[in-house]
Amino acid sequence: MGAYPASVRRYSGVWACAGVVALGACSQTPTPPAAKLFTLFDVQALYAGGALESEAIAADDGLPGGILLNLILNPPASDGSLTLAPRSAWSDNQLVAFLTTEVWVNYPQVWMQPVYVPVTHASAGGPLQFLGGVSQPAPIFSVGPASAFYSPFLQIVYAEVPADTAPDALTSSRQILDGGYPLTPGGGRTMPLVPDKAALPATVALPATVALPSDVSPPATGYLDGAVVSFLDFGPSTFTWDPNTNVVQEAAIYVLTFIGPDGTVLASPDIPTVLGAGPSGSGVALPGGLQRDSAYYRVHTVVMPPTARLFVQPGSTLEMELPGDLLPFTGFAPGASELQIAKFSGRVALDGACFSDPTLLDPTSTSSNRCIWLGSEAALQTNLDLSTEETTTITVTWEVTDLLTPNADGSVTAVPGPVAPPEPL
């Protein structure tokens, strides 16, 4: 407060404002929100600065509670190593595991950036191969994670270099562009840069603990402005883009919320979200013929009707993790089989009354009282009044890594999605 009482300070503020009125100051122009990008490096820095895993980013941007840090990265181990945090979601009624590597706030759009891969002819007229004859090239990134325009969505650009080029001679995009090499644009790949000590998770915990034999390779190394950087490769066909603008096309994810007795919007990251269908061409066939999911999503929230209930087995990990005010919105079908429990835990039924009989859990039941599960974008669109939907200003990179397939004994098996390695053209 300084030496002046509050009233004097207020007046001084008025005079200060009056003094600059002539300069056009003290206007009442509304301030637009700032765009923010959170990468794994930012989350790592927040932890290093003393942030707790229960702290959230994007807390005031339309998603109740924001995105907790431990939903992106687990707290660092004593040796500084980091593990990405896996989560689960519903994709066309199929539970999948995914990772979060970037969060954008107030970005109307994000852009694909180029990444250069040197290739060469090992012999005159022979096929192209990666420089040095390696099977896994060291790509050359063009934009670093500190930039507001950093993107994990990359277009492979093959640079055909002379065969006698040393494998480590090209380490920057300027070298590629100045070299005048023939450049051939290739496909898109989701390849986020990651901190050096980042590792992939071994298990996903909810709704049940499942080992993750993901096919995503451990962090590999490439180059950025001459420096070695680490990255993850989630493979091709995980996004599409506007060829005229390089804007990455977004899909929707739906965070399911409930309205409490006092009107409060209740949400929990422990309730698996529902992934929308990606733009046409952004998926590849998974085992079983399913379409692979997009990696770029905008977060939407959808209020569940008062009758909706979350299927939760009493005493399960999921029940213990849920906030207490959400427990009234859970339900269970006594007598449900282990397979049913594994299959439906964490899924929301349109009307919890169907939990009265385990046979009604089966969505193929002929009973008119069967459960209508809200585990797909189509089910949400068909069964809900989506006027309650809220589109947030949050977009995320969610890389789906595994299908989580329930077994008859109640266990869950993770089936990794295919990650085709890069090909030298």
Considering only residues 248 to 267 of the shown chain, the ones binding other proteins according to CB under 8 A are: none
Q: Which stretch binds other proteins (CB under 8 A): 43-51, 171-179, 204-212, 356-364?
A: 171-179
Compute the least distance from the CB of residue 68 to other proteins, in Å.
Answer: 24
Compute the least distance from the CB of residue 20 to other proteins, in Å.
Answer: 6
Compute the least distance from the CB of residue 3 to other proteins, in Å.
Answer: 24
Compute the least distance from the CB of residue 148 to other proteins, in Å.
Answer: 5
Q: Confirm or reject binding of residue 192 to other proteins (CB under 8 A).
A: no
Which residue number, 31 or 54, has a Cβ lying nearer to other proteins? 31
Token readout for 419 is 């990650």
Q: Confirm or reject binding of residue 390 to other proteins (CB under 8 A).
A: no
Task: Decide: 198 and 383 in contact? Cβ < 8 Å.
Answer: no
Q: Confirm or reject binding of residue 143 to other proteins (CB under 8 A).
A: yes
**In sequence order, what are the residues at sequence separation of 6 or more whose Cβ sits closer than 8 angstroms to the Cβ of residue 82?**
40, 44, 73, 74, 76, 195, 197, 198, 199
Compute the least distance from the CB of residue 112 to other proteins, in Å.
Answer: 8
| d(C-alpha 121, C-alpha 130), whole Å | 9
Query: Is 345 in a helix, a strand, or coil?
Result: coil
Compute the least distance from the CB of residue 167 to other proteins, in Å.
Answer: 22
Q: Confirm or reject binding of residue 142 to other proteins (CB under 8 A).
A: yes
Nearest to 148, CA basis, from 107, 198, 108: 107
Query: At CA 328, angle to CA 326 and CA 334, rounded to 5?
Result: 115
Compute the least distance from the CB of residue 160 to other proteins, in Å.
Answer: 12
H or E, element range at 340: helix 338-344
Q: Confirm or reject binding of residue 172 to other proteins (CB under 8 A).
A: yes
- With 0-12 / 13-18 / 19 or more C-beta atoms within 10 angstroms meaning exposed / middle / buried, residue 304 is buried
Q: Confirm or reject binding of residue 184 to other proteins (CB under 8 A).
A: no
| d(C-alpha 272, C-alpha 97), whole Å | 10
Compute the least distance from the CB of residue 223 to other proteins, in Å.
Answer: 12
Which DSSP symbol is given to 45?
H
- Which residue from 79, 125, 166, 178 is in contact with other proteins, where contact means CB under 8 A? 178
Q: Confirm or reject binding of residue 156 to other proteins (CB under 8 A).
A: no
Which residue number, 283 or 422, has a Cβ lying nearer to other proteins? 422
Considering only residues 208 to 227 of the shown chain, the ones binding other proteins according to CB under 8 A are: 225
- Which residue from 12, 81, 136, 147 is in contact with other proteins, where contact means CB under 8 A? 147
| d(C-alpha 113, C-alpha 419), whole Å | 20
DSSP per position, 1-28: -TTS-HHHHHHHHHHHHHHHHTTT-S--
Compute the least distance from the CB of residue 196 to other proteins, in Å.
Answer: 18
Q: Which stretch binds other proteins (CB under 8 A): 150-158, 200-208, 386-394, 412-420?
A: 150-158
Q: Confirm or reject binding of residue 52 to other proteins (CB under 8 A).
A: no
Query: From residue 141, how far is each of 151, 192, 291, 399 by CA, in Å?
Result: 10, 10, 29, 19
Q: Confirm or reject binding of residue 18 to other proteins (CB under 8 A).
A: no
Residues contacting other proteins: total by CB under 8 A? 45
| d(C-alpha 7, C-alpha 298), whole Å | 47
Compute the least distance from the CB of residue 284 to other proteins, in Å.
Answer: 24
| d(C-alpha 43, C-alpha 53), whole Å | 10
| d(C-alpha 375, C-alpha 108), whole Å | 27
Amino acid found at 52: L
Considering only residues 79 to 118 of the shown chain, the ones binding other proteins according to CB under 8 A are: 106-109, 111-114
Pairing, β 220-224 against β 140-141: parallel
Q: Confirm or reject binding of residue 46 to other proteins (CB under 8 A).
A: no
Q: How many CA atoms lie within 13 A of 412 on its CB side?
A: 27
Compute the least distance from the CB of residue 218 to other proteins, in Å.
Answer: 25
Q: Confirm or reject binding of residue 392 to other proteins (CB under 8 A).
A: no
Q: Confirm or reject binding of residue 332 to other proteins (CB under 8 A).
A: no
Q: Confirm or reject binding of residue 169 to other proteins (CB under 8 A).
A: no
- Which residue from 144, 358, 363, 416 is in contact with other proteins, where contact means CB under 8 A? 144
| Chain contacts with other proteins (rule: CB under 8 A) | 20, 22-27, 29, 31-35, 106-109, 111-114, 142-151, 155, 157, 172-174, 177-178, 183, 185, 225, 244-247
